[in-house]
Amino acid sequence: MDSALVIEGTTAFCIPRQDESAHFPPGSAPIFFNKRMELNRDATILLLLDLMPSEYLDLMAATGVRALRVAHECGIPVIANDRDSSAVMLLRENANRLGHPIRVVNRDANALLSAERFDTVDLDPFGSPAPFIDSAIRSARHYLFVTATDTAPLCGAHLKAGMRRYAARPMNTEYHPEVGLRMLIGHVAREAMKYDRGIEPLLSFAFEHFHRTHLRMVPGVRAADRTLASLGYIHQCPSCAYREVEAELLPGAVYCPKCSVKATPIGPLWIGDIVDRELVLRLQGRINDMALGSKARLSRLLTILSDELSELPHYDYHRLAKRLRVSPPAMEIFLKELEERGYRSSRAHYSGTAFLTDAPLSVCEDAIRVSSQS
């Protein structure tokens, strides 16, 4: 196999050589490796150095980059699994080269999860994690990390696929990355509650072409009930920007006060916090001393997440300005206008024009009109 040496973080490993002229270079190699997911992996390394679990399972390891980095950069006992025998051979070669005693397994993902339990399970498939969520929840003792790259179904662009996979109704809205992320977390929450377990999001974000959530699994009926209380819906008016949040497992009927039409329920979604802010602040304090390829981007993401309000729903102030037929002001001017009116506001991490606030829509619209004249 023609291979190339790659260094990510402080870890050196070999991957099959890719055709850089291909439309999607990672798909041109016999074993998958996507350089664009470096921030995803960097965030996990940073988080694991804070959590320091007793062991870590990379469920679908492929080249093993994530497993190798966890073993080398975090010093945590690692299990790396893949059902592809050629991937397993490469994994063993890379582990031997680094000198780390990684346990390498060659099994079907669901079969392994059903046979053993692991302190931390990392589910990072190519596409949807939905077929593996139930077994991953049963297997994960303390932590479950999940990546989803099927953003079109999660965000409502492929409506029926999203409904089939996640048993929820998405919608392709201006805030669709937030819908996709909260739909993913909500799906995990509903699967966990079946086993009288709850979840606590530690670090979750929507970035470019993927959604990523790191969750603490909490045993007990009380934890499951707390999780249930964090599920609900965003009701979106089909005619205007009005939207409303409802904390219920089954949606009620909500009518737009402006248009007098029934709003469309999106969900069920996770409507609670998507991060542990104290933890995010600790990660911010740690990141400067680390060798991470995505340090600048990840640091900016953590900064926004640490300040991000938990209020739903989110708005895009450029879209609101367009509806009002005014020029959008600078984001800082607009947010300052909201705060001077006594409301809280912040940026949203997934878009440079998205904001969160506890102000009603009418106040947001008036603030845009006034601040656009500044």
Contact indicator for 235, 263 with CB cutoff of 8 Å: yes
* pLDDT > 90: percent of the chain: 84
Question: What CA–CA distances, in Å, run from 160 to 148, 153, 155, 270, 354?
Answer: 17, 8, 11, 20, 26
Q: How far is CA 95 from CA 85, 90, 121, in A?
A: 15, 9, 19
Per-residue pLDDT averaged across 249-276, rounded?
96
The dihedral built from the CA positions of residue 69, 203, 227 and 161, taken in this order, carries a sign that is negative
Q: What is the pLDDT of residue 1?
A: 67
Distances from the Cα of 292 to the Cα of 8, 166, 285, 372, angstroms: 7, 33, 14, 40
What pLDDT band is residue 89 in, cutting at 50, 70 and 90? very high
Token pair 């409502």 is at which residue? Answer: 156
**Alpha-carbon gap, residue 47 to 74, rounded angstroms:** 10
Hey, is 92 helix, strand or coil?
helix
- The C-alpha angle 149, 155, 160, rounded to 5 degrees, equals 100
pTM value?
0.95
CA–CA gap between residue 287 and residue 13 (Å, rounded): 23
- For all residues of the chain together, what is the average pLDDT? 94
pLDDT at 276 over 90: yes
pLDDT at 18: 86
